[in-house]
Structure 1
Amino acid sequence: MTSLFSPLTLRGTTFRNRLWVAPLCQYSVEKRDGVPTDWHLVHLGSFALGGAGLVMTEATSVSPEGRISPQDTGLWNDDQRDAWARVVSFIRSQGAVAGIQLAHAGRKASTARQWDHHRGTWSPEDGGWEPVAPSAIAFDGYATPRALDASELAGIVADFVASALRALDSGFQLIEIHAAHGYLVHQFLSPLSNQRTDEYGGGLENRARLLLEIVAAIRAAVGTEVPLLVRFSATDWAEGGWDQEQTATVAGWARDAGADFFDISTGGLVSGVRIPLTPGYQVPFAEFVHKTADAPVSAVGLITEARQANDIIESGQADAVMMGREMMRDPHFAWRAAAELGVELGYYPPQYERARWSYEKRASVSAGAAKPAVPAPREPATEDSA
């Protein structure tokens, strides 16, 4: 058994392996009502069928105004809860853990999908809404947000808690708080977007206050058995911004408040930054947080090969690997990775048994047989595209 395919347990949940599906925004809600559709069932279900240990949803908003786009999923009402239950049931039936990423987009809300012929923020006249943020500072090319009053923040914490409880009612086994990629919680963490002068701005403790309140409130609401993750961008890639040292410090505080595990990505707060795109370019940030905060972490970012993923776990750089684009290219990547690493797994779906990757096929790949071409790296879209 390789490190990548060894089980991992967090609180009351055991993951069959450490090859996990990163949150992948789909912008595919048909009626703009936050209700997941058949697209989400097939998209997420295919990863569970393909052998992943954890299948995480896209960034799912805790309120209507917290959506990135009008086509985002949500979990602020019972219709959404019931639709998610169908998706979760299938994920779990295939042996994968079902996780949900709860989010609020803040100043990056009410925006167009990548393939829409529109750039920036949708106006209320066009079906959008007014975005909010810690400070009235716009993301490049987007509308200037309204700065949140301190009295409104308790409501945002309550929205996260209510969505977390609906997630459990839907059957989700894990909850992740989205504090990365330039969305609301990240906006509070970074001094580049948070210029408040009250108890939620200024020093690191104040900038981390909203996140820690969300963590503590969700932990109190969901009890002791549910794993609670936080996704961080470990750096803004910008001078004077959020960095790995602050990330490690706040991760330690979040662990004390009730978080169990940290999903480490980077970027998304500001545009125009230079990012050194090489295979596994974000893994050193995960390793830094892992060692500095003495906390379990996952790594993500241009991880595309089975051996590469296994080496990250085996070397102790991270406890799990999140994969996004490679999973979209091959939802059954886990089965291929197991064969390439010489691992015989006991949870191959019997319907696909006749198509099982054999050791003979693995040997032919190792000997240089043609493999699908992987697109060249490009500047990453940080809207949870991994």
Structure 2
Amino acid sequence: MEDLQQLLINRMYSTVVTGKGLDDILAPIAEKYRDLPVTFQVQCLTQNNYYHFSALNVDSAYNELIAEFIQFNPFPKLLQSVSSDQLVYSERFLSQQQLEQNEFYNNVLKGRDNLNRSRGFHLHRQGSDVALAAVTMPARFQGTEDEELCNLLERIQPHYQNAFSLFLKLEAQKRNVDQHTFWLEQIPSAAFILDHGFHIALSNQKGRTLLQKSRFLYADRSNNLATNHRMYTNNLENLLLQCRTQKVPVGPFPLGCETPTQPLISYVPLTVLEQDTNDVEPFLKNWSPVLAVILDPTDHPVSKEVLIQKIWGATNREADIAQMLIRGFSLKETASTLNMSYNTARNHIAGLTSKADMKSQSELISSLTATLSRMPETVRAPTPTD
């Protein structure tokens, strides 16, 4: 089981850094437990709307049934009852009697080996939208098998969440990338292959640009990744040592103090990538090559208004109002500045508060401020004292 755990952890990070889809990350579990449907899904918990759904160990007929009755699936909503670091045991929240009254169970699960329990966990949650992974089990799946699988899921959960977090950060920084260029250039953040020690064997364009412009990171005369910041040095060395000695992916972790604008570092042993791309083979002959990815939270190509629209689904007007509230204007001042009535402005911000699944305007503005503090100001914004 430890070998399966390590295989899964390696697979998670290698899938993310090579830009492959997330649907098959848990394929090793599906191969070991061929009777258990294994799913990855992104959905709205409050309305049970699915943005993405993929399942392993199911045939096309079963997939069609899932698609037809998926809005009645009772299991995902159970995630609302637990914290993000917990594994959900569905039977603790949903009795067999309650399950038997459910359309999804009667039309989908019951006819397939009487599937009646689920184990799942959060990968990421934003408002009422959640990404999750789950395994569904039949009534006969009990005892040692059940216990071993649950223990495995609990151990890989934090790694899967970290890998998914890295995936989101890389996706947020994507530019127009030529998919036919060398795979290192397809990583949308500063990336380096360190073949031994901190020696840079290869870097992508973002990596070269970072070393030219950074105040703290540079390439020394021997082309080693170096820093003049003591805390950065300690973190770079300790994390790289952990990655090489344990032969496991590490990060992303802050290079210095944990602040919203602090660069993040992630290391992945190239042996993890060996089965995923032939392009890394030249670096696997000697030494202990590692892929280092440095993420800059301030490196974002769009304005804050556009970010509010993209992240929270705001309209142009809602984004304008939210930006002014963040800058310290009152709702009355905002309405006057934007040439609208107070009630119209209030309705707009109430709509955005609802979209973001926040309880109040103050909670919304606090959340927006915390998120946008990671992004640099593109232009100077007016303040109430101007």
| TM-score bracket for this pair, using the shorter chain length | under 0.3
TM-score, with normalisation over the residues of structure 1? 0.26
Structure with higher helix content: 2
Structure with higher strand content: 2
